[in-house]
Chains A and B, each alone.
Chain A
Amino acid sequence: AQTVTQSQPEMSVQEAETVTLSCTYDTSENNYYLFWYKQPPSRQMILVIRQEAYKQQNATENRFSVNFQKAAKSFSLKISDSQLGDTAMYFCAFLPPPEGQNFVFGPGTRLSVLP
């Protein structure tokens, strides 16, 4: 069974600074997908970024980028130029092949951006 670990229950960062959230996972699969979701106090989960395991290039989405280390089974999220609106819970998620499997989520990291 796949598992996802997020070892940082809480983190804080000053506005405009950079922060990195860690995620590791355990799987015997070779091809899979990884995601970062954000959950603000409004409760709705919002997709931040995704990565296909067969792609070596790290995904980027504006201020958000990942450091995907397949051999180490690590998938960290870097947020640059942090903004107050980035304050939220962040969940790392794993989607195994084939298509149509269920997503496995980590326990989350609570990020606070301080003014």
Chain B
Amino acid sequence: GAGVSQTPSNKVTEKGKYVELRCDPISGHTALYWYRQSLGQGPEFLIYFQGTGAADDSGLPNDRFFAVRPEGSVSTLKIQRTERGDSAVYLCASSSGTGASPLHFGNGTRLTVT
């Protein structure tokens, strides 16, 4: 595709519910990243995929957060038993994964947990 696509753009859910956030990277990009951005702060790393496997998931805050990328393209970030503190903008980015390839970001999903 032309760019990184994230859906939905906004999601409001009740505390305790389960949510899925989708990211469709640029075609051919092997590397995919999830970041979380709270209001007025910089992006905070969550997880990085190289192909289908999670190369680094050290940023996931706890076991309620999980992400998959089964075919090495689209990725889904899954949050179980959501808490109000999970409210943030979730950014997805992709890159070609070689050298100093810059990140190409989507517009993010704003998650609000009420």
Partner-B contacts on A (CB < 8 A): 4, 33, 35, 37, 42-47, 50, 52, 91, 95, 99-108
Contacts and interface: CB of A to CB of B under 8 A. Distances in A.
Nearest to A32: B100
A20 B47 CA distance: 32
A49 B26 CA distance: 20
Given A44-B105, A45-B91, A100-B50, A107 B42 contact: yes
A100 B48 contact: yes
Given A101-B56, A102-B48, A45 B93 contact: yes
A108 B100 CA distance: 21
B107 A35 contact: no
27 contacts: A4-B42, A37-B103, A43-B89, A43-B108, A43-B110, A44-B105, A44-B107, A45-B91, A45-B103, A46-B105, A50-B100, A52-B100, A95-B100, A99-B97, A99-B98, A99-B99, A100-B48, A102-B45, A102-B48, A102-B56, A103-B43, A103-B103, A104-B45, A105-B44, A107-B41, A108-B40, A108-B41
Contacts of A105: 35, 42-44
Interface string B37-66: 000111111001010000110010000000
A103 B86 CA distance: 21
Contacts of B97: 99-100
Name the residue among B41, B44, B89, B100 with the largest chain A CB count within 10 angstroms. Answer: B100
Contacts of B50: 100
A47 to B, nearest CB: 5
Contacts of B108: 43-44
Nearest to A53: B100
A24 to B, nearest CB: 14
Contacts of B98: 99
A62 to B, nearest CB: 16
B106 interface: yes
Given A37-B105, A108-B40, 16 more contacts: A37-B103, A42-B107, A45-B43, A47-B103, A47-B104, A50-B100, A52-B100, A99-B97, A100-B55, A102-B45, A103-B103, A104-B45, A105-B43, A107-B41, A107-B42, A108-B41
